[in-house]
Amino acid sequence: MVTRKAPTLERQGRKTMTLHIENGRLGDTAVVTCNGAILAGEGALRLREGVMALSQRHILLDLSAVSGIDAGGLGALVYLEQWARNRGADLLLLNVPGFVMEVLELTHLDMVLRICTLEGIEAQPYPLHAA
């Protein structure tokens, strides 16, 4: 029996790597920076656990350094959006790479997930200025 790895959507020219997340704050807003691939299994679990450990009601998920995503990664983003809504929190995806945006549009998840750019962040209804 031959087993195959699940296909991964990767940014061209970047090697898929383990997901690393870094938590920071900007005023009352948590900023979670993702670096690497958001893949089913450890990467998606690491992202979910990292975000769900936050106490802030406003969370920015910076995806600018994401090198790949698969169905498990998309599922983690949808799960976190629902988790945030259920606890009365806001989850925004920031700096979504083009290849990830294409997948979100193809799957219509761009209608479910809140996506913004740095230019649009100032229009958000909660404070994002450093304290």
Per the structure, the complete domain to which residue 81 belongs is given by 18-119
- For residue 126, the 8-state DSSP code is S
Into how many domains does the chain fold? 1
Q: What is the pLDDT of residue 6?
A: 42
Written as one letter, the residue type at 101 is M
- Give the mean pLDDT of the chain: 85
Whether 13 maps to a domain, the answer reads: no
Q: What is the CATH number of the domain that holds 39?
A: 3.30.750.24
Give the C-alpha separation, 77 to 62, whole Å.
12
Residue 99 has pLDDT above 60, yes or no: yes
Mean pLDDT over 98-119 rounds to 93
Mean pLDDT over 70-89 rounds to 97
Contact status, residue 67 vs residue 11, Cβ threshold 8 Å: yes
Whether 2 maps to a domain, the answer reads: no
Alpha helix locations (H) across 1-131? 42-52, 71-86, 98-106, 118-121
- Beta strand 58-69 pairing with 29-38: parallel
Q: How confident is the model at residue 30 (pLDDT cuts 50, 70, 90)?
A: very high
Written as one letter, the residue type at 60 is L
Mean pLDDT over 79-86 rounds to 98
